[in-house]
Structure 1
Amino acid sequence: MRLYLDPGHGGTDSGATGNGLLEKNINLDIALRIGTILLNNYENVNIRMSRTGDTTVSLQQRTNDANTWGADYFLSIHCNAFNGTAYGYEDFIYSGLSDSSPTARYRDSIHTEVTRVNQLYNRGKKKDNFHVLRESNMPAMLTENGFIDHTHDSNLMKQSSWLQTVAQGHVNGLAIAFNLQRKPDDSDVFYKVIAGSFKSRENAEERVAFLNSRGIDSFVATVTISGEVWYRAQAGAFSTRQNAEVRLNEVKNAGIEDAYIISEQQSTVLVESTLMED
């Protein structure tokens, strides 16, 4: 399955705004989580994104890119705004399609799974003439994940756990719609969240103290790499990458932007990231 993920807006186009949030950031966060969950857990999934950072991409660039790549499905992630009075979740397919079209059937599965978990009022399944729905050569869907200017919805958007849950809802729907097969579980692998690696134990302890003060349980762990001892501020170990990703986002939201995940199997490091020199 070739999925084109489109986080709406970006760069000079912030999208909707409200309650201290920018739509472009929420869209990107959810889309990145969708991609991570799919790649980590499902077989034969290829993903291309219209943007992976805060960049400006035109609507035509998005659909041209998806069409040229030959995507099987186009999924555009958005959230909404309307004077602070409207609230809830809704999604769209192209207005020229029937309710019995493949696009509508795919949307039915995703709509059901997202609304099952997102804690938002269900505004229903809708149709419109949006560019990304009209100009994409493949089945396409646009989801509006709450109203950023509504207090209830925006309070959810500020929670890393909610963003992860919404992403998982999209993935659950995609898995049903496209009959995706899960990768075999490997119970021997576990995932550690590293909030910094230091040559100085004192610096590692300072990082741990900061995290604990923010309510994130962490401790100092040591590892020897190429004969050198490093001190890690570790913020948890998890049996699933999904749970590790949730903790990673909590750490980054606390201001530790260089945090990362390593996966280990029977004490052997499988994935490593850049070490800091202080």
Structure 2
Amino acid sequence: MKLYLDPGHGGTDSGATGNGLLEKNVNLDIALRIRSILVNNYENVDVQMSRTGDTTKSLQQRTNEANAWGADYFLSIHCNAFNGSAQGYEDYIYSGLSDSSPSAGYQNTIHAEIIKVNQLQNRGKKKGNLHVLRESNMPALLTENGFIDNVHDSNLMKQSSWLQNVAQGHVNGLAIAFNLQPQQDDSDIIYKVVAGSFRSRDNAEERVAFLSSRGIESFVATVTISGEIWYRAQAGAFSTRANAETRLNEVKNAGITDAYIISEQQTTVLQSTINE
């Protein structure tokens, strides 16, 4: 399944604002979590994102990209805003579609899974004449994950556990709708993406901060090689090499051209490359 995942707004377009939050940031956080869950846990899922950082992209660029790629599904992540008192979750398909359309069928399934876990008032399944729904060639859904200007909803948006639950709800719906199969863990090998190894922890932290600015999650891992301590900027660990290769390409596209993959079996490192 080829999913075009669209965190709404970004860059110069902040989207809705409220209670110290910017919609563009909440949208991106949820979308990155959705991608991570999908590529790390399901077979035969290819995810392309309209943005992985705080960049500006037009609505036409988003739908043109999804159409050219030949995506099977277009999923746009948003938050709502109105008058401070409105609250809850709702989602949209294109208003020109019937209730028996594929988009409506996917909406039914995904909506049901999201409202199980998001702790938000259910405002229902809706239709709208929105560009990303109208101009995408494939079935499409736009989710509005709470009202950012509502105190109750925005307090939830500030919690990492809530963001993770919302992402998981989206994934649960996608897995049912597209009959996604869990990855089979039949090997002890783990593939780790290393975006640099350093003698100085400060240098490793700087690399992690850079990756974060590009929307790529990473952390500092400590490893001892030939009696010396090294600090790695690690951008993920995967049970399949294909998923590791996908992340490696993202890291390289962000400008870390010397990033590489190491294979580990239990505690034995099979291959390692060191960068000063």
TM-score range, shorter chain: 0.7 to 0.9
Q: Does 2:243 align with 1:230? A: no
Q: 1:49 maps to which residue?
A: 49
Q: Does 2:110 align with 1:110? A: yes
* Cα distance in 2 between the residues matched to 1:142 and 1:272: 43
Closer, same or farther in 2 for the Cα pair 1:191/1:96, shift >3 Å? same
Within a 5 Å distance, the mapping from 1:157-168 to structure 2 comes to 157-168=157-168
Shift of 1:155: 1.0
SS in 1 for 2:74: strand
Shift of 1:199: 3.7
* Cα distance in 1 between the residues matched to 2:108 and 2:274: 42
Q: Is the 8 A contact 2:40 2:238 kept in 1?
A: no
Q: Is the 8 A contact 2:224 2:230 kept in 1?
A: yes
Q: Does 2:119 align with 1:119? A: yes
Shift of 1:198: 6.5
Q: Tell me the alpha carbon deviations over residues 109-160 of structure 1, each in whole angstroms, 9 at most, x when there is no partner.
A: 1101111011111110000000100111110000000111111111111111
Closer, same or farther in 2 for the Cα pair 1:271/1:141, shift >3 Å? farther
In the comparison of the two structures, how many residue pairs are matched? 240
* Cα distance in 2 between the residues matched to 1:174 and 1:130: 21
Q: 1:13 maps to which residue?
A: 13
Q: 1:86 maps to which residue?
A: 86
* Cα distance in 1 between the residues matched to 2:165 and 2:4: 20
Q: 2:4 maps to which residue?
A: 4
Q: 1:150 maps to which residue?
A: 150
* Cα distance in 2 between the residues matched to 1:231 and 1:98: 58
Q: 1:138 maps to which residue?
A: 138
Shift of 1:271: 9.7
Q: 2:247 maps to which residue?
A: none
Q: Is the 8 A contact 1:92 1:141 kept in 2?
A: yes
Q: Is the 8 A contact 1:187 1:239 kept in 2?
A: no
* Cα distance in 2 between the residues matched to 1:137 and 1:113: 25
Any unmatched runs of 5+ in structure 1? 204-219, 241-261
* Cα distance in 2 between the residues matched to 1:82 and 1:271: 54
Q: Is the 8 A contact 1:200 1:230 kept in 2?
A: no
Closer, same or farther in 2 for the Cα pair 1:184/1:86, shift >3 Å? same
Q: 2:175 maps to which residue?
A: 175
* RMSD of equivalent CA atoms: 3.6
Q: Tell me the alpha carbon deviations over residues 40-97 of structure 1, each in whole angstroms, 9 at most, x when there is no partner.
A: 1111111111111111111111111111111110000000111211111100000111
How many percent of aligned residue pairs carry the same amino acid? Answer: 74
* Cα distance in 1 between the residues matched to 2:117 and 2:273: 33
Within a 5 Å distance, the mapping from 1:59-98 to structure 2 comes to 59-98=59-98
Letter of the 1:31 counterpart: A
SS in 2 for 1:9: coil
Shift of 1:265: 3.4
TM-score normalised by the chain length of structure 2: 0.75
Within a 5 Å distance, the mapping from 1:216-255 to structure 2 comes to 222-224=223-225, 227=226, 229-230=228-229
Any unmatched runs of 5+ in structure 2? 203-220, 240-261
SS in 2 for 1:117: coil
